Amino acid sequence: MDETPSIDDVRKAYELELLDSTGQKVKFGSLIDDTGKTVVVFIRHFFCGSCQAYVSRLAQVQDEVLEKTRVKVVVIGCGSYQPIKQYQQKTGFNKPVYADATRALFRHFHLIENLEATSADQPVKNYLAGRNRLMNVLRSIWTGPLQRPQYIGWTGDKTPSFV
């Protein structure tokens, strides 16, 4: 998506369902905090090494800072809810994480999907600094399907274009 969703688009998305870490259905609208700000981070999937690095960096933000600034952070990934608990352990992210198993929310926001790396004329994102692309792919395979083959299948292996 090249533009910010309208308020109407966001409100329509409120009725779409996600799954929490136990497989319980949760409406997207229930995640939005009306008393502060809610940052919704869409990730490729739960085994993506780049996404894990990004969420690990988010996990370093102190709870007190988020509370003081009234900011809630939520992560939404494609695929099954089953890897969520391991994902939170691996990344150290103790905030809410949800799965969009049907990709209804991703489709609703017309998220553009791509596998493009940072272009050569742009600096590497600081959470990826020092990461070799090949090693990142191998790490993703190792922490995903090789260690948890029960989750092999379509996981939404492309990245949305906005956070």
Look at residue 149 in the predicted model and tell me its pLDDT.
Answer: 46
pLDDT 10s digits, 34-54: 788 888 998 877 877 878 888
pLDDT 10s digits, 69-78: 888 999 999 8
> Which one has a higher pLDDT value, 133 or 66?
66
Look at residue 76 in the predicted model and tell me its pLDDT.
Answer: 94
% of the chain residues with pLDDT over 70: 67
Residues 6+ apart with CB under 8 A from 71: 36, 37, 38, 39
Q: Which sequence spans correspond to the domains of the chain?
A: 7-151
Q: Which of 26, 28, 37 is nearest to 9 (CA)?
A: 28
Cα 160 from Cα 163, distance rounded (Å): 8
pTM for this predicted structure: 0.72
Is the sign of the CA dihedral 10, 12, 14, 18 positive or negative? negative
Look at residue 19 in the predicted model and tell me its pLDDT.
Answer: 96
129 pLDDT band (50/70/90 cuts)? Answer: low
Look at residue 143 in the predicted model and tell me its pLDDT.
Answer: 56
Look at residue 96 in the predicted model and tell me its pLDDT.
Answer: 95
User: Under a CB-based contact definition with an 8 Å cutoff, are residues 157 and 114 in contact?
Assistant: no
- Give yes or no for residue 33 having a pLDDT over 80: no
Assign domain 7-151 to its CATH superfamily: Glutaredoxin (3.40.30.10)
Is the sign of the CA dihedral 84, 147, 80, 117 positive or negative? positive
Residues 6+ apart with CB under 8 A from 8: none
% of the chain residues with pLDDT over 90: 32
Residues 6+ apart with CB under 8 A from 160: 1, 42, 44, 106, 109, 111, 112, 113
Look at residue 161 in the predicted model and tell me its pLDDT.
Answer: 34
Cα 47 from Cα 87, distance rounded (Å): 8
